Amino acid sequence: MEGVGLLSAASSLSHRVGAVGRHPVARRAGEAALTLIGVSILTFVLLRVVPGDQITAAYGTAAGDLSPEQLQALEAYYGVNEPLLSQYLGWLGGVLTGNLGVSATSQLSVLSMTAQSLPNTVELAVLAIVIGLGLGVPGGMLAASRPGKARDQISQLTSLIALSVPSFLLAAVVSSWLVNTIGWYPNGEGYRTLSEDPALNLQQMLLPALVLGISIAPPILQTTRAAILTVRSEDYVRTARAKGVSGRRLQVRHILRNALIPVVTMSGLQFGFLLGGALVVEQIFAIPGIGRQVLLGLEQKEYAVVQSTVLVIAVMFVLVNLLTDVIYRLVDPRVRVQ
Amino acid sequence: MSTQRRHGHRTHATVATALAAGLLAATLAGCGSGGEKTGDANGTLVFGISADPAQMVPWTATSTQSIQVLSQIYSPLLNTDAEGVPEAGLAELPEISEDGKTYTFTLREGVTFGDGSALDSADVKYTYEKIIDPASSASSASYFANVAGIEAPDPQTVVVTLKQPDASFVAGLTGVNTAIVPSDVDAKSLEAKPVGSGPYQFKSRTPNESITLTRNADYYAGKPGAATVEFRVIPDEQSMVSSLKTGSVDVAIFDNPVTAKTATSGQTESMTVDSLSYHVLQLRATSPTLKDPNARLAIQCAISREDVIDSAALGSGKPTGPITSPEYRSDAEAQPCPEQDLDKAKDYLAKAGKPNGFTLNLMTSQGLYSTAVDEAQNIQAQLGKVGIKVNVEALDSNAYVERWLAADFDAAIAMNGGSSDPNTMYSRYFTKAGSFNKVAGYSSPELDKLFADGIATTDTAARKPIYEEISQRLVDQAAWVWLFTPEMYVVANKRVEGLEERTDASIATLWKASVS
């Protein structure tokens, strides 16, 4: 069902893309810019609506011990004494000139923090999506090959279980089992990036990518299964079959390829979420990714850190959507023609 | 000492906790403190922390992680000994004038900062004046409230003049929040690159990952055991356990006995240490529900502290009275109801004119510490037995802090840091002029006088009965209901030697440890 819904969503999306007119790219860029501004305003407002500020976050109840002069100095230091509009415009102006702000706790620019954390998150997301596709697509094909029969039911049941187990639980169980049996827990070592120490980095990425991959495989499996079942009843498949195309060629070239669009859509969505930082998994496995950067900013009420990082995540999301569009064109010539 | 706050596992210790950072309680089995070093002189000791330090300048440090890291880099003017009594550090114990208003400190000779410059009286004067300056927003400024002036007549001498005698003044000079910074380094630059005279020097920091320190070979108190100390950020408790078990982290501190137990294996040892901090049910005596002392006493009598410890706090803690300062510790049993006494509780309710009980709003926050909500619910169940209907409000930690500061509550669950000085612990809450008196909601002219007497003399023997009386008055009036002091668990790899375990889990003497 989900897959069918996504299929129609994808086709209406591609239809819309085609129907925009002469400047679809300009139109999409404009939409993206509006989205980003909306995200930034929403983040800005939400941060200030929730109770507390940087001062109460840093001092806790000890903030009550600060003299009025001390409070004034702190407010000026954190820039929270300025009117909201000038706070927002000041931040936005900075962002437009490439200044994402500075973290008061680490004294580092958000740009340099992001330059460190984003590649880790992207790497994790790519590995997770590869694992998710590796499990989900063959699983979906397997399930669709004999709908309603044992292999379908087993695949569906497995995916239901994988979907139901929370990733934090899976992470805890798997890692503590490995620790207690073979004494292996690479994530306790200091984090190393792919370029610093590829061997250790891949070990450190293995468990989190596996946990995330398992959690995103079920929707991919379901989407693949539903799309294949839909495509299989299409006229052109019947035609191909009548023509004598059979076996692997029919499955891959005629069915799978045409079933891929909703899978691409689903994978794009999942990838976008992963880029937002798989916060829980990053926390559990001590991966210094972008999700933890946002969390740290939220805990310390570091407005600039949260606003800028959320904006970066939104930009990534928009880029992934654009990329998904490009992939549509690759897998489905009809999108190009339209 | 305000309430400790916690986001996830990260605690916000308080100024007072920091000041109390000085109590040796025990020594890890098999480790001789200050004994011969058999460890690897080039070894790296990895200390696991659950969050990135939030502040890097001593006088603004409030988070536990900040205090842990900065206590390796900076030295305070004075240290504290095993009993929590201030002792010599960068300076000898001060000579105090007859009138108790002039403190003269003689600095140790030959102490240098990490940048090689000498630490002299000008640095002490600079640091303290910086703390007093409102522009620094120092959380330790209140310790200097009585200071009239600071002089540095010669490089080794610092003279502090007080407006009035204040016996708690010295206790304020023993923590990270008053540690000495170099006067010739811009304070702003210390945030990114700390420069102190502590056992270790700042080397590098990767946010959300680690902070690396290297040995200060010229440390005035001795040669630090490990060549390198790395504070590694591991946010998840189970991940910390795994890291300890596989030996990638050498030392970590837990507040959860169950976690500490799972972290203990053939390779690691766990030590239980007491704490100066305390869990308390704060009652606001000025709120309409709790105005009558009998209503508050009914609450005290209806609560079994052992039950709170066993059911909510996983068995980790000991019942306590108000004062946890080692020299002045309150007798935990000296209160109207040392044990739960439901009949007495009902008597008090009748005296309060509410024989059928009343409704009490109790706020708490998961962000305070891991069992804060469980404790509130346990108290809810206990008070229900005498007809006191408790509405538990579990708030976000920022919302809790805002309402706490605004004194907008009837009752609150809190964990407060202790101090080696009882005046530091309570004068801010229970004197009329105290900065948190509005929040505490209780004061009296008699208490004001007792607190004033308590700091008018520096003689411990003379001060003791005064604080005994303060403590007694607080529990007799059930100003708050003091619950228990929690226990902390230090888990260390067996390759760590010479690790000193200190009350309140301070790691100010981590430098004595080495790794093999």
Q: Is A288 exposed, middle or buried (0-12, 13-18, 19+ CB in 10 A)?
A: buried
Asked if B40-74+198-273+487-516 and B75-187 have one fold, the answer is no
Q: Is any Cβ of chain A less than 8 angstroms from the Cβ of B3?
A: yes
Measured in angstroms, the CA of B12 and the nearest CA of chain A are apart by: 7
- Bridge-based pairing of strands B44-49 and B251-254 is parallel
Look at residue B1 in the predicted model and tell me its pLDDT: 35
Q: Which residue of A has its CA nearest to B367?
A: A299
- Beta-sheet strands, E only, within B328-472: 359-365, 389-395, 411-416
Shortest CA gap B322–chain A (Å): 19
pLDDT at B38: 57
Look at A184 and B53 and tell me if their CB atoms are within 8 Å: no
- What's residue A257's pLDDT? 84
In B13-99, DSSP assigns E strands to 23-27, 44-49, 78-80, 86-88, 95-96
Q: Are B169 and B102 in contact (CB under 8 A)?
A: no
List of chain B residues whose C-beta atoms are within 8 Å of the C-beta of residue A179: 241-242, 245-246
For B:135-164, CB contacts with A below 8 A are: 135-139, 141-142
Instruction: Note the pLDDT of residue B470.
Output: 97
**H or E element in which residue B150 lies:** strand B147-154
pLDDT at A300: 84
Task: Round to whole Å and give the CA distance between B120 and B157.
Answer: 8
CB contact B494 to A (< 8 Å): no
Backbone torsions φ then ψ of B6, nearest 5 degrees: -150, 135
Per-residue confidence (pLDDT) for residue B505, from 0 to 100: 65
> Any bridge partners for residue B112, and if so which?
B118
CA B189 – CA B191 distance, rounded (Å): 5
Q: Note the pLDDT of residue B36.
A: 45
Cα distances from A223 to residues A133, A143, A220, B97, in angstroms, run: 11, 11, 5, 83
CA dihedral B372, B377, B381, B382 (to 10 degrees): 10
- Distance linking the first and last C-alpha atoms of chain A: 26
> In chain B, what residues touch A283 (CB-CB under 8 Å)?
235-236
Query: Which residues of chain B does A284 touch, with a Cβ-Cβ cutoff of 8 Å?
Result: 235-236, 238-239
Nearest chain A alpha carbon to B247: A188
**Average pLDDT of the residues in B400-407:** 92
Min CA distance, A65 vs chain B (Å)?
6
Mean pLDDT estimate for chain A: 86
Residue of A nearest to B238 (CA): A172
d(CA B99, CA B51): 46
% of chain B surpassing 70 pLDDT: 91
Residues in chain B: 516
DSSP H or E run through A229: helix A198-232
Instruction: State the DSSP H helix or E strand holding residue B147, giving kind and residue range, or none if neither.
Output: strand B147-154
Query: Are A60 and B2 in contact (CB < 8 Å)?
Result: yes
Please tell me the distance from the alpha carbon of residue B278 to that of residue B500, in angstroms, as a whole number: 22
CB contact under 8 A, A117 and B12: no
Contacts of A71 in chain B (CB under 8 A): 137
In the block, residue with structure tokens 């169950």: B258
**Who wins on pLDDT, A101 or B80?**
A101
Check pLDDT > 90 for residue B142.
Answer: no
- Residue A182, Cβ neighbours under 10 Å: how many? 9
For residue range B217-237, what is the model confidence (pLDDT) as tens digits? Answer: 999 999 999 999 999 999 999
CA B341 – CA B186 distance, rounded (Å): 59
> DSSP label at B89?
S
Residue to mutate among B401, B402, B427, with most A CBs inside 10 A, is B401
Confidence band (pLDDT; 50, 70, 90) for A245?
confident
Does the structure show a pLDDT above 70 at A56?
A: yes
CB of A184 less than 8 A from some CB of B: yes
Q: Per-residue pLDDT averaged across B342-359, rounded?
A: 96
Interface list for B 417-446 with A (CB within 8 A): 428, 435-436, 439
Nearest to B323 by CA among B422, B244, B439: B422
The H-assigned helical ranges of B37-135 are 64-73, 121-132
Spell out the domain ranges in chain B. Answer: 40-74+198-273+487-516, 75-187, 278-486
Distance CA B446, CA B470 (A): 9
Express each pLDDT in B116-126 by its tens digit: 999 999 999 99
Residue B493's DSSP bridge partners are: B268
Give the pLDDT confidence score for residue B148 in this predicted structure. Answer: 97
Quick check: A183 pLDDT over 60?
yes
3-class secondary-structure state, position B90: coil
Alpha-carbon torsion B47, B52, B56, B58, what sign?
negative
- Mean pLDDT over the full length of chain B: 89
pTM: 0.85
> Above 70 in pLDDT, residue B18?
no
Chain A, 195-254: which have a CB under 8 Å from a chain B CB? none
Please check whether residue A302 is in contact with residue A103, taking contact to mean a CB–CB distance below 8 angstroms: yes
Label the pairing between strands B157-162 and B200-206.
unpaired
Give dist(CA B226, CA B213) in Å, integer.
Answer: 10
CA trace torsion A12, A17, A20, A24 (10° rounding): 170
In which band, very low, low, confident or very high, does the pLDDT at B9 lie, cut at 50, 70 and 90? very low
- For residue B134, the chain A residues in CB contact (below 8 A) are 67, 69-70, 72-73
pLDDT per position as a tens digit, B490-507: 999 999 998 887 766 688
Residue A118 to residue A124: CA distance in whole angstroms: 10
Q: Are B5 and A285 inside 8 Å of each other by CB? A: no
Q: Do B207 and A72 touch (CB under 8 A)?
A: no
Compute the average pLDDT of residues B473-479.
97
Using a CB-CB distance cutoff of 8 angstroms, which residues of chain A are in contact with residue B367? Answer: none
What fold, for B75-187? Dipeptide-binding Protein; domain 1 (3.90.76)
Residue count (chain A): 338
pLDDT at B180: 97
> B16 to chain A nearest CA, in Å?
10
Contact call for A52 and B210, based on CB within 8 A: no
The CATH number that domain B40-74+198-273+487-516 falls under is 3.40.190.10
Taking the Cβ of residue A50 and every Cβ of chain B, the question of whether any pair is shorter than 8 Å is answered with yes
C-alpha to C-alpha distance for B88 and B95, rounded to whole angstroms: 12
pLDDT of residue B225: 93
Find the mean pLDDT for residues A185-198: 92
Query: What is the distance in angstroms between the Cα of B109 and the nearest Cα belonging to chain A?
Result: 34
Q: Under a CB-based contact definition with an 8 Å cutoff, are residues B235 and B229 in contact? A: no
Q: Tell me if chain A has a CB within 8 Å of the CB of B5.
A: yes
Mind telling me how many Å the CA of A200 is from chain B's nearest CA?
13
Burial class (CB in 10 A: 0-12, 13-18, 19+), B218: middle
Q: Is the pLDDT of residue A336 over 60?
A: yes
List, as one string, the DSSP characters of A159-228. Answer: HHHHHHS-HHHHHHHHHHHHHHHH---GGGSPP--TTT-HHHHHHHHHHHHHHHHHHHHHHHHHHHHHHH
Across the interface, of A77, A179, A293, the residue whose CB is closest to B242 is: A179
Q: What are phi and psi of A93, to 5 degrees?
A: -60, -45
**Quick one: pLDDT at residue A24?**
66
**Nearest-Cα residue of chain A relative to residue B143:** A65
Q: Which residue of A has its CA nearest to B48?
A: A188
A181 contact B CB<8A: no
Residues B271 and A110: their CA atoms lie apart, in Å, by 40
Kindly report the number of other CB atoms within 10 A of residue B516's CB atom. Answer: 13
According to the model, what pLDDT value does residue B504 have?
A: 60
How distant is the Cα of B75 from the closest Cα of chain A, in angstroms?
21
Q: What is the mean pLDDT of residues B248-264?
A: 91
The pLDDT value given to residue B85: 76
Distance from the Cα of A163 to chain B's closest Cα (Å) equals: 23
Summarize the confidence of residues B72-90 as an average pLDDT.
Answer: 88
Binary contact (A300, B230; C-beta < 8 A): no
The residue in chain B having the minimum alpha-carbon distance to the alpha carbon of residue A281 is B236
Q: How far is CA B498 from CA A220, B270, B511, in A?
A: 54, 14, 9
Ranges of H-type helices in B43-161: 64-73, 121-132
CB contact under 8 A, A56 and B436: no
Check whether domain B278-486 has CATH 3.30.70.260, yes or no: no
Residue B491 structure tokens: 């888990």
The residues facing B211 across adjacent strands are B205, B231
A249 and A319 in contact (C-beta within 8 Å)?
A: no
Taking the Cβ of residue A56 and every Cβ of chain B, the question of whether any pair is shorter than 8 Å is answered with yes
Q: Cβ of B14 and A62 within 8 Å?
A: yes
Q: Residue A261: in which H helix or E strand, if any?
A: helix A257-275
User: Which of B405, B296, B311 is CA-nearest to residue B360?
Assistant: B296
Chain A residue closest to B244 (CA)? A188
Q: Do B236 and A285 touch (CB under 8 A)?
A: yes
Strand partners, B418: none
Q: Which residues contact B189 (CB under 8 A, 6 or more apart)?
A: none
Alpha-carbon gap: B223 to the closest alpha carbon of chain A (Å) = 26
**What average pLDDT does range A254-260 have in this prediction?**
86
DSSP string, B262-331: HH--TTEEEEEE--S-EEEEEE-TTSGGG-SHHHHHHHHHH--HHHIIIIISTT--EE--S---GGGPPP
Nearest by CB to A67, from B134, B207, B249: name it.
B134
Q: What is the ipTM of this complex?
A: 0.81
Can you give the C-alpha Rg of chain B in angstroms? 23
Q: Is residue B453 within 8 Å of residue B95, measured between CB atoms?
A: no
For the CA atoms of B260, B265, B271, B272, the dihedral, rounded to the nearest 10 degrees, stands at 40
Tokens of B67: 């205090």
The closest CB to that of B248, out of A180, A188, A300, belongs to: A188
User: CA–CA separation, A308 vs A301, rounded Å?
Assistant: 13
pLDDT for residue B46 is more than 90: yes
pLDDT at B6: 35
Distance (Å, rounded) from C-alpha B20 to C-alpha B346? 39
